[in-house]
Amino acid sequence: TAASPFTRMFSAEAIRLILAGYTDVALHGRDSLRPRLGDFLLASTYAGLAFGTAGCATVHAMSYPLGSTFHIPHGESNYAVFAGVLRHYEQQQVPGLADLQELLGRELGCPASDAMDSLDALLQKILPLKRLSAYGMEPSQAQPFAEAVLRTQQRLLAHSPKEMTVADMSGIYTALL
């Protein structure tokens, strides 16, 4: 991948700011969001700097068929596949994921081994995740969507920490139904 110490630094700071804000909102409600808006804007800038160099990968690639077929905003379609892609990486023991789990664990106050579960729990408090079927996706669409991603999103998949196959992506979509 095109990740570097530069992109990792900006990514880590973006994650730290976002998780601090989300934790605050989860604990104190949406009224605590307004004082955090500057942090979220800064996190967005840091993430943009990281993405601009390292690129986006599987989550973004897999979000496109959802957005275009079901008219889901891009951020929401990314969220719809985010946990599924991370869980797939976790199962595949993708290089670099342990560093992310370590960072998440530090920021969420849990062991790295519990980081994904803690992140899922926090995100559920902020915005409950919908199943892909709630958007209208049918099981029969998992493989064609995966094939479309492989055919049309190579610019994004090229940045994935592991080569993604149709079977990998179809399995992620199916698990999220």
Q: Give me the pLDDT at residue 113, please.
A: 96
- Give the chain's mean pLDDT: 96
Contact 132, 80 (CB under 8 A): yes
Helix axes 97-108 and 5-28, enclosed angle (nearest 10): 40
Burial 8-31 (b: 16+ CB within 10 A, else e): bebbbbbbbbbbebbbebeeeeee
pLDDT tens by residue, 101-149? 999 999 999 999 999 999 999 999 999 999 999 999 999 999 999 999 9
Q: Where are the domains of the chain?
A: 1-54, 56-176
Give the mean pLDDT of 77-88.
Answer: 97
- 159 CB-side CA count, 13 A: 20
Answer whether CATH 1.20.1090.10 is correct for domain 56-176: yes
| Mean pLDDT to the nearest integer, 38-64 | 96
CA dist 41 and 46 (Å) reads 9
Model confidence pLDDT, tens digit, residues 164-174? 999 999 999 99
Could you read off the pLDDT of 86-95 as tens digits, one per residue? 999 999 999 8
